[in-house]
Amino acid sequence: MPAEDLTFRNAMRLLAGGVTIIATTWEGERSGLTATAVCSLALGPARVLASVNVQGLTYELVSKSRIMSVNMLAADHAGLAERFARRREGNGEDRFAGSDWRECKTGAPVLADALAALDCRVTDIVPIDSHAILIGTVEDILFGPPRQPLINFEGGFTSIAKDFPERTT
């Protein structure tokens, strides 16, 4: 990796951000990955964007199905985030084992106890070098129990200390 790429990567590791799992399915095959490059894009209709590597199975299945869920992880999901982040162990069905995944309105898999999960139809895919930006229109939103969010910082997972009031959605 060129020095400037390493410097850029090290700088971006200082940008703390929420941790999500992008999940999808196509013709009975599920796939997912841990993603931190996710943000809201617009309201009316609600849209999100996520950046994913074009070399993985998740990108391939999203490109075919045009559906995805964006599952916002809690601090107690750190092990799950690690499992979905591992490239060497595949990114298919094995990653979903041991967690409660359900099918949402679009058919995408959704983590039942995520802090929140966005069920999306992917309207645009913009390839840029090694990654692609997925733009999803939010079809449904599901909420899990309120608790501490999982945060990515300096290449590892952490959380924040905060008391959580009852949610009013």
> Domain range spanning residue 100?
15-151
- pLDDT 10s digits, 32-74: 999 999 999 999 999 999 999 999 999 999 999 999 999 999 9
Taking the CB of residue 61, how many other CB atoms lie within 10 A of it? 24
Spatial contact of 167 and 145, defined as CB atoms under 8 Å apart: no
Q: Classify residue 163: in a domain, yes or no.
A: no
Q: Would residue 144 count as lying in a domain?
A: yes
Would you state the pLDDT for residue 4? 81
Please state, rounded to an integer, the average pLDDT across all residues of the chain: 92
> What confidence tier does 9 reach under pLDDT thresholds 50, 70, 90?
confident
Q: Is residue 34 part of a domain?
A: yes
Asked if 96 and 103 touch (Cβ cutoff 8 Å), the reply is: no
| Residue 138 resides in a domain | yes
Of the candidates 139, 145, 60, the one whose C-alpha atom is nearest the C-alpha of residue 100 is 145
Where is 79: in which H helix or E strand?
A: helix 78-85
Label residues 81-108 b or e (16+ Cβ within 10 Å = b): bebbbeeeeebeeebbeebebeebebeb
49 within domain boundaries: yes
- Predicted confidence at residue 106, as pLDDT, reads 98
Residue 161 belongs to a domain: no
Q: How many domains does the chain have?
A: 1
Contacts of 107 (CB under 8 A, 6+ apart): 25, 65, 67
For residue 157, being part of any structural domain is answered with no
Query: 0.95 cut: is pTM over it?
Result: no
Is 33 inside any structural domain? yes
Backbone angles phi, psi at 124, to 5 degrees: -140, 140
CATH number at residue 78: 2.30.110.10
